[in-house]
Structure 1
Amino acid sequence: MSETVHNATGNTGRAASAEVRRIIIAGGGTGGHIFPAIAIANAIKQAQPDTEFLFVGAKGKMEMERVPQAGYQIEGIDIAGFNRSSLLKNLGLPMKLVKSFLQVRAILDRFQPHAVIGVGGYSSFPVLKSAQRRGIPTFIHESNSFAGKSNILLGKKATRIFVASEGMDKFFPAAKLLITGNPVRKAIVQSQISRSEALSFFGLDDSKKTVLVVGGSLGARSINEVIANHLLDFKALDMQLIWQTGKVNADAYKQRGKASKNVWVNDFIVDMDKAYAAADVVVSRAGAMAVTELCVVKKPVVFVPFPFAAEDHQTVNARYLVDKQAAVLVADSEVNTKLMSALTTLAMDEAQQNRLKENISKLAVTNADAVIAGEVLKVINA
C-alpha cells in the first residue's frame, strides 16, 4: 500500500474561513458505529468550536437515543438492511430506499453541509451517495478489517477514507486511504476513576474479583446463556459480575441476575469508563471498537468472536491479539464448555493478567479522533 497517506496531523496549516462550517455525520445501528461518530464530532468541535453538526440515523435504531444523549441533533430516515432470515420482510425495501433518498434530499437542501462523514450502518449509504452526487466532500470511517459493501461502493468517490489497519487497499483506492486507528470516547481514554470508585458506582465490593461481560449493544446470546447458567458459580467462587446483556431477552436476564447481590446487570452500560475501571477480567465479542477500547484500557480479556460476522472478521481481530499474547480466545462453538473455565482461570491468575495487560497496552491508539478531525477540517477549510 505504497500510496497510502501516513503522515496525518490535526493542523490544517491555514486559517479557517469566517463562515461557520456544517457537517453531517451519518450511520449507526450499533455502538461500534455510534460512539466513534460521536468521538469524531467531539474532536472536530474541540478544534473548531463553532462547527455545526447534524447526525442522520435509521429510525428505531439506538443512535436515535444515544446521539441526543451526547448533545447532538439527529434526524431519522426510513431505511433498513436486507433481512437474510426472512425474505418476506424485504418486500418493502425498495420503497424504503426510495423514501430514504427523498428524505436525505430534503435534509441536504435544508442543512447545506460542507462535508458528510459516514461511519457505517444502513443510514450512511443514502446520505453519502446523495452528497457525492452534489459534489459535497465525503469521508468514510471503516472500523473493521473487512469493509462493508456500502462503504466499498461509496469509497470510489469519497474524498478520504479512514481505516484502522493496513491492507485495506483491497477494498478502497489506495491514494484515498489514511490509517488512523479507531476513535475511542474521551471518557474512556482520559478516565481517572479508580477501581474502588468504579465498584462503588456499581454497588459492588472492591475486595472481590470482578468480571465484566459485554456482548455488544444488541447482546450476545451464546455468552449470555453461559453467564445466566453459571450465576451461582460466581458466588461460590467469591467473584462478582458486571453484566451488559444487550437488548435481546434482556428482561429475563435481568430477573435472573438481580437475585444475586454479587451481580450488577442491565441491558446497556452508559458509563463504560467505570465498567472498565471496575473489571479485573473482561469477556467480550471481538468487534473492531470493542478490541480498540480494550487495548486502550489495558484489560485482560477473553474474546468470544461473533461467528457470523462478514468473512469471520471478529475471529481475525481476536486472533491478531492472541498471536501477540495479548488476549485469550474461546470460539463461539465451544462457549458452553470452555468460557467459564477460561474466565475463572484468568481471574485467579494475576501473573497471566499482568502479561496480557502489558501486551495489549502496546496496541493502543488514543488519538484517532483528532487525526480524523484534522483531515476533515483541512478539506472544508481549504
Structure 2
Amino acid sequence: MSQARHYVLAAGGTGGHMVPAAALAAELVRRGHRVALVSDDRGVRFPGLFDGIQTHVLPAGRLAGGPIGWLKAGRQMLAGRAMARELYRNFRPAAVIGFGGYPAFPALLAAFAEKIPTIVHEQNAVLGRVNRLVSGRVAGIATSYDDVARLKPGPKVHLVGNPVRDAILDIRERPYPVLEEDGIFRVLVTGGSQGATILSQVVPDGLALLPVHFRSRLQVTHQARIEDIDAVRAKYAEHGIPAETATYLPDLPEHLAWTHLVIARAGASTIAELTAAGRPAILVPLPSATDDHQTANAREITRAGGARTVAQSAFTAAELAKQMQKLGLDTIALQNAAARAKNCGRPHAARDLADLVESIDAPTAKLPVGVPQRKEAFA
C-alpha cells in the first residue's frame, strides 16, 4: 500500500459528476488515503454515495444571465475559491481532482493558487466547459473515451474510462439473464439522476404498441421525474403492463442485473454502467445537453452494436415499438448486443484513475500500468 495521503475531489451536483467521484473516493479510501468532497448543495446530499466522506459546500455561480448574472457568478466563485484555500491549508491535500461542473471551478482555482497538483476527469465524449477552462493548467486530464471532442491529445491526457460503483462491477461477473422465448422480458427505463419527461411520455405508449405475445411478457421498472410519476403509473395501468415506478431507484444495480434491455438517456454514467454491466440499450440523447455531448457519448456503444440511438425528435411510440421488436424478438441477437456493450466497458477505470492520482504528485514516478498516454496539444 502506498503512503497515506489526503485528496480533495471537486464535482458538480449531478449524478454524471458525482458517481465517478464517489467511485474514486471508495478506491482511494481502500488504499488507506483520506478523502474530502467539495460540491454544491445537491452533491453533498446524494443518497448513499459519500457516506463517511468529509463534505464541503462551496458557492459556485453559473455564467448565465447577462452582465449582472456574470458579476454575481464571479463574486460567488471568488468566495468559493477563498473557502477552498482555507480548506486546503487545514486539510493539506496531495492533489485536487476535478470532475467538472461549476463547483469544481473555484476548488481548482484555489489549488492553482496554493500550488497543489491538480487532475481533471472528463466523463463525456466532449470536453466540458470547466475542464476546458482549466485544461492548460492542470497536471493531468483523465478521459472516459479514446476520442474526446475539443481536446487534442497530449502527454498529460490519459484514457482511464469512467469509474462506476462496485455494485455495478459485480454485475459484470454475472451472466446475462436467461431469456426464453416465452419468458419474462425485463425492461429498465431511466432518465438518470434528473429523470427524463420524454421517456415518461413515450415509453408506456410505445410498449403498448408491441404485439400481444411480446407485450404480455413485459416487466417494466421505470424511474421518472416526480412531476411525471402519477401520469406514468396511470399509463401503464391503462395499458395493462406490469410496471414498478419510482422517482429514485436506490437498488438500481440489482434492477440492472436482471434487466434484458435498458431504455435511457445517454449520460456518461449511464453509458459507463451499461458497458460495465453488459446490457443492451435504446438510447435517447438529451438534445439540450451542452455541445450535444450525449449524442457523442452514445457513438462508441452504438457503433459496436451494443445499443441503438434514437434522436429525441424521432423518438415516438411507433419508433420505440419498432426498435423494441428488432431487439427483443431475437433472443440470440439481444445476447450478442449485450456482449458488444460489455466489450466497450472499462471496468478498471477507478483503479486506473487512482493510480494516476497517486502518481501525479510525484513528478519522477512512472505512469501507472494501464493508463496510456496520448500526444500533446489542446484545442
Regarding TM over 0.5, the answer is yes
Asked if 1:118 is matched to 2:98, the reply is yes
Residue 170 of structure 1, CA deviation? 4.9
CA root-mean-square deviation = 3.0
Residue 101 of structure 1, CA deviation? 2.1
Deviations 1:21-43 (A, max 9, x none): 11110003221111111111112
8 A Cα contact 1:235 1:262, kept in partner: no
Cα distance in 2 for partners of 1:87, 1:67 equals 38
Residue 243 of structure 1, CA deviation? 0.7
Report the counterpart of residue 167 of structure 2 in structure 1.
187
Residue 308 of structure 1, CA deviation? 2.0
Report the counterpart of residue 352 of structure 1 in structure 2.
333
Report the counterpart of residue 104 of structure 1 in structure 2.
84
Residue 163 of structure 1, CA deviation? 0.8
SS of residue matched to 2:193: coil
Cα distance in 1 for partners of 2:271, 2:200 equals 19
Report the counterpart of residue 297 of structure 2 in structure 1.
317
8 A Cα contact 1:211 1:281, kept in partner: yes
Worse overlay, 237-246 or 65-74: 65-74
For 1:53, the aligned partner's letter is V
Query: TM-score, normalized by length of structure 1?
Result: 0.82
Cα distance in 2 for partners of 1:367, 1:22 equals 22
Instruction: Sort the Cα spacing of 1:298 and 1:193 in 2 relative to 1 into closer, same or farther, 3 A.
Output: closer
Cα distance in 2 for partners of 1:258, 1:317 equals 34
SS of residue matched to 1:265: strand
Query: TM-score, normalized by length of structure 2?
Result: 0.83
Instruction: Report % sequence identity.
Output: 27
Asked if 1:43 is matched to 2:22, the reply is no
Residue 345 of structure 1, CA deviation? 4.2
Cα distance in 2 for partners of 1:235, 1:54 equals 52
Cα distance in 2 for partners of 1:70, 1:194 equals 30
Report the counterpart of residue 240 of structure 1 in structure 2.
219
Asked if 1:81 is matched to 2:62, the reply is yes
Report the counterpart of residue 365 of structure 1 in structure 2.
346
Asked if 1:277 is matched to 2:253, the reply is no
Asked if 1:209 is matched to 2:169, the reply is no
Residue 369 of structure 1, CA deviation? 0.8
For 2:345, the aligned partner's letter is A
Instruction: Sort the Cα spacing of 1:319 and 1:52 in 2 relative to 1 into closer, same or farther, 3 A.
Output: closer
For 1:26, the aligned partner's letter is A
Aligned residues: 354
Residue 255 of structure 1, CA deviation? 6.5
Residue 69 of structure 1, CA deviation? 4.8
Instruction: Sort the Cα spacing of 1:135 and 1:103 in 2 relative to 1 into closer, same or farther, 3 A.
Output: same
Cα distance in 2 for partners of 1:286, 1:257 equals 24
Cα distance in 2 for partners of 1:82, 1:228 equals 38
Q: Which runs of 5+ in 2 are unaligned?
A: 366-379
Asked if 1:72 is matched to 2:53, the reply is yes
Report the counterpart of residue 57 of structure 1 in structure 2.
39
Instruction: Sort the Cα spacing of 1:112 and 1:271 in 2 relative to 1 into closer, same or farther, 3 A.
Output: same
SS of residue matched to 2:245: strand
Instruction: Sort the Cα spacing of 1:301 and 1:135 in 2 relative to 1 into closer, same or farther, 3 A.
Output: same
Instruction: Sort the Cα spacing of 1:322 and 1:230 in 2 relative to 1 into closer, same or farther, 3 A.
Output: closer
Report the counterpart of residue 203 of structure 2 in structure 1.
227
For 2:272, the aligned partner's letter is T
For 1:357, the aligned partner's letter is A
Residue 154 of structure 1, CA deviation? 1.3
Residue 155 of structure 1, CA deviation? 1.6
Residue 220 of structure 1, CA deviation? 1.5
Q: Which runs of 5+ in 1 are unaligned?
A: 1-14, 197-205
8 A Cα contact 1:58 1:80, kept in partner: no
Residue 177 of structure 1, CA deviation? 0.8
Residue 218 of structure 1, CA deviation? 0.5
8 A Cα contact 1:26 1:123, kept in partner: yes
Cα distance in 2 for partners of 1:324, 1:261 equals 31
8 A Cα contact 2:61 2:74, kept in partner: no
Residue 261 of structure 1, CA deviation? 7.6
Report the counterpart of residue 370 of structure 2 in structure 1.
none
For 1:220, the aligned partner's letter is A
Deviations 1:105-160 (A, max 9, x none): 23223322111111111111110111012110111111111101211221211111
